[in-house]
Amino acid sequence: MPTPRIDILTLFPDYFTGPFTVSMVKRAVARKKVDIRLHDLRKWATDKHHTADDVPYGGGAGMVMKPEPLTKALTALKRGRKKVKTLLMSPQGRRFDHGMAVELSEEKALLLVCGHYEGIDERVMAMIDGEVSLGDYVLTGGEPAAAVLVDALVRFLPGVVGDRQSVEKDSFFNGLLDYPHYTRPRFFKGRGVPEVLLSGNHALIEKWRKKESLKNTLAKRPDLLDRVELSGEDLKLLKEAQKELEAGG
């Protein structure tokens, strides 16, 4: 199976030195679970100053990324390749979430374009397959969004996370928030670990975790409950969780 490849087209390739040279992304690259390639857009600018932006037609504040370097770069990076999903990191895009991270982790070739300034020349959009946004706010550029997208999807690549269960138990994997976690010491500042976690009864532990997951979701993101299908047992646990919250538990 070929190693998934992620190309990132950016004005600031050095931005990724930190995010991609530590932790899980670094290990994934070292183990050849993913091939990440950074490309400086200015390489495709033809004037002596390597200009990649210009003032907008019609006036107004800010600058616009020029079509010539972008078109040349995208053409070069796609040349000779069968299928490359090209995404523009943009506040106008589809909001990035767990589902999209899983979806994109199944792509064998991604090309991320980091927007800047007021955006890119509209005439380049014909070469873009889609736009992705982290949320309803504007960043200084597409680099932070690209770094987040790569970090999120790399976790789902086969062989990156040793314990697959740690991924499948994460928040949002089943549509709900995660349950609380505890580790040693057993007592800390007068607070102990819930007794059920020390019982060794795996059925009771799983039931506790499910209820705590529902409680967390109800308390912090109740909107998520409208998007998931709950079983009869889940609904019973949800009622218990609601009573505990109302009682201050």
Q: What CATH number did the domain enclosing 184 receive?
A: 1.10.1270.20
Residue 34: inside a domain: yes
Residue 240, in any domain of the structure: yes
- In the chain, beta strands by DSSP E: 5-10, 35-40, 53-54, 64-65, 85-95, 109-114, 130-133, 187-188, 191-192
Domain count, the chain: 2
Is residue 90 within 8 Å of 117, Cβ to Cβ?
no
Residues 145 and 177 in one domain: no
Say whether both 88 and 145 belong to one domain: yes
Amino acid 169: pLDDT: 54
Tens digits of residue pLDDT in 175-208: 899 999 999 999 999 999 999 999 999 999 999 9
Q: Is 99 exposed, middle or buried (0-12, 13-18, 19+ CB in 10 A)?
A: exposed
Please list the active-site residues: 91, 118, 155, 170
> Do 67 and 44 share a structural domain?
yes
Q: Are 70 and 41 in contact (CB under 8 A)?
A: yes
Domain assignment of residue 160, yes or no = no
Q: Are residues 140 and 176 in the same domain?
A: no
Establish if 159 belongs to a structural domain.
no
Single out the residue in 98, 131, 154 at which a domain terminates: 154
Containing structural domain, residue 189? 169-246
The answer on pLDDT for 166 being more than 60 is no
Inter-helix orientation angle 98-105/143-154, to 10°: 70
Q: How far is Cα 38 from Cα 150, in angstroms, rounded to an integer?
A: 12
pTM beyond 0.85: the answer is: yes
* CATH number, domain with residue 76: 3.40.1280.10
pLDDT per position as a tens digit, 16-33: 999 999 999 999 999 999
| Residues 186 and 192: beta-carbon distance below 8 Å | yes
Domain assignment of residue 105, yes or no: yes
- Identify the pLDDT of residue 168: 58
Residues 150 and 192 in one domain: no
Q: What is the pLDDT of residue 162?
A: 63
pLDDT for 58: 95
106 lies in a domain? yes
pLDDT digits (tens, 9 = 90+) for 39-97: 999 999 989 999 999 999 999 989 999 999 999 999 999 999 989 999 999 999 999 99
Structure tokens at 176: 């709900």
Task: State the pLDDT confidence band at 171, using cuts at 50, 70 and 90.
Answer: low
Q: What confidence tens digit (pLDDT) does each residue in 208-248 have?
A: 999 999 999 999 999 999 999 999 999 999 999 999 999 99
* Mean pLDDT in residue range 168-179: 76
pLDDT of residue 127: 98
Looking at the domain assignment, is residue 45 inside a domain?
Answer: yes
16 and 84 housed in the same domain: yes
In this structure, the answer to whether residues 109 and 221 fall within a common structural domain is no
202 and 145 assigned to the same domain: no
- Please tell me whether residues 9 and 32 are part of one structural domain: yes
Residue 105 pLDDT more than 70?
yes
Asked whether residue 140 falls in the same domain as residue 68, the answer is yes
Domain boundary among 154, 178, 205: 154
CB within 8 Å of 7: residues ≥ 6 apart? 37, 39, 77, 84, 109, 110, 111, 112
| 147-164 per-position pLDDT tens digit | 999 999 999 999 998 654
Q: Is residue 249 very low, low, confident or very high in pLDDT (cuts 50, 70, 90)? A: confident
Q: Please check whether residues 149 and 176 belong to one and the same domain.
A: no
Is residue 44 domain-shared with residue 142, that is, in the same domain? yes
Domain boundary (154, 179, 194) is at: 154
Domain presence at residue 161? no
Contacts 24+ apart (CB under 8 A), 49-56: 52/11, 53/116, 53/117, 56/118
How wide is the angle at C-alpha 235 spanned by C-alphas 233 and 236, nearest 5°? 65
Q: Residue 117: pLDDT above 80?
A: yes
Contacts of 45 (CB under 8 A, 6+ apart): 51, 52, 66, 68, 69
